[in-house]
Chains A and B, each alone.
Chain A
Amino acid sequence: MASSGLYSDAKRTSQFEAMVNAYSKDLYRYGLWLTKDAQVSEDLVQETFLRAWKAMDSLKDPNAVKSWLFTIYRRENARRFEKIRPDTTPIDDVNVDQFAQIDDSFAKAEVIALRKSLKDLPEEYLEPLLLQVLGGYSCDEIGEIIGIKSGAVMTRLFRARKKLRAILEDDGPEIELDSQGKVTEI
Chain B
Amino acid sequence: MEKDSLTIKQVLISDPNTRDPDVLKQVAASEEYSEFSKKLKQFDDKLKSAINIDVPEGLESRIILAQRMSGEDAQADVMQQNDNVVAFKKSDNKPQLGYRWMSIAAALVLAVGLSLGMFKFGESQGLEQQILAHLYEHKDALIKDKNIELASFNEMLAPHGVKVSESIGHIRYASNCPIDDKKAPHFVLSENGQPVTVMYIPWKQMPEREKIGDDKFKGVLLSHQKGSFVIFSEDPEIINRVQERVASSIEIDI
Chain A residues close to B by CB (< 8 Å)? 1, 16-17, 20-21, 24-25, 28-29, 32-33, 38, 40, 42-47, 49-51, 53-55, 57-61, 64, 67-68, 71-72, 75-76, 79-80, 82, 94-95, 98, 102, 107, 110-111, 114-115, 118, 129-130, 132-134, 136, 138-139, 154-155, 157-158, 161-162, 164-165, 168, 170, 172-173, 175, 177, 183-185
CA of A33 to CA of B67 in the docked complex: distance in angstroms? 25
The 22 listed contacts between A and B (C-beta, < 8 Å) are A1-B72, A24-B60, A28-B59, A43-B97, A43-B98, A47-B96, A49-B63, A50-B74, A60-B83, A61-B84, A67-B84, A68-B85, A82-B90, A107-B49, A111-B46, A111-B50, A115-B50, A138-B15, A154-B15, A158-B10, A161-B14, A184-B6
Q: What is the minimal beta-carbon distance from A111 to any residue of chain B, in angstroms? A: 5
- Please tell me if the beta carbons of B50 and A58 are within 8 angstroms of each other in the complex: no
Q: Which of A42, A49, A61, A71 contacts B67 (CB 8 A)?
A: A49
CA of A33 to CA of B202 in the docked complex: distance in angstroms? 28
Q: Which of B13, B46, B83 contacts A158 (CB 8 A)?
A: B13
Interface set, chain B 45-63, CB cutoff 8 A to A: 46-56, 59-60, 62-63
Contacts of A95 in B (CB 8 A): 53
Contacts of A1 in B (CB 8 A): 72, 74, 76
Contacts of B19 in A (CB 8 A): 138
B9, B17, B85, B100, most chain A CB atoms within 10 A: B85
- Please tell me if the beta carbons of B55 and A29 are within 8 angstroms of each other in the complex: yes
Q: What is the minimal beta-carbon distance from A106 to any residue of chain B, in angstroms? A: 11
Which partner residue on chain B sits nearest A2 by CB separation?
B76
Instruction: Check B66 for interface membership: any CB of A closer than 8 A.
Output: yes
- Please tell me if the beta carbons of B46 and A20 are within 8 angstroms of each other in the complex: no
CA of A39 to CA of B216 in the docked complex: distance in angstroms? 34
- Please tell me if the beta carbons of A25 and B51 are within 8 angstroms of each other in the complex: no
- Please tell me if the beta carbons of A154 and B83 are within 8 angstroms of each other in the complex: no
Contacts of B48 in A (CB 8 A): 133
- Please tell me if the beta carbons of B96 and A170 are within 8 angstroms of each other in the complex: no
Interface set, chain B 3-36, CB cutoff 8 A to A: 6-7, 9-11, 13-15, 17-19, 32, 36
- Please tell me if the beta carbons of A20 and B49 are within 8 angstroms of each other in the complex: no
Chief secondary structure at chain B's binding surface: helix
- Please tell me if the beta carbons of A94 and B76 are within 8 angstroms of each other in the complex: no
- Please tell me if the beta carbons of B60 and A47 are within 8 angstroms of each other in the complex: no
Known pairs A107-B49, A154-B11, A183-B7. 20 more at Cβ < 8 A? A40-B97, A43-B97, A43-B100, A45-B59, A45-B63, A47-B98, A50-B67, A54-B74, A58-B76, A58-B81, A72-B86, A76-B96, A76-B97, A95-B53, A133-B44, A138-B18, A158-B14, A161-B47, A173-B36, A175-B13
- Please tell me if the beta carbons of A170 and B51 are within 8 angstroms of each other in the complex: no
Chief secondary structure at chain A's binding surface: helix
Instruction: Check B244 for interface membership: any CB of A closer than 8 A.
Output: no
CA of A68 to CA of B86 in the docked complex: distance in angstroms? 8
CA of A183 to CA of B52 in the docked complex: distance in angstroms? 30
- Please tell me if the beta carbons of A118 and B67 are within 8 angstroms of each other in the complex: no
CA of A33 to CA of B39 in the docked complex: distance in angstroms? 25
Contacts of B13 in A (CB 8 A): 158, 161-162, 175
Which partner residue on chain B sits nearest A181 by CB separation?
B10
- Please tell me if the beta carbons of A58 and B86 are within 8 angstroms of each other in the complex: yes
- Please tell me if the beta carbons of B52 and A29 are within 8 angstroms of each other in the complex: yes
Instruction: Check B203 for interface membership: any CB of A closer than 8 A.
Output: no
- Please tell me if the beta carbons of A139 and B9 are within 8 angstroms of each other in the complex: no
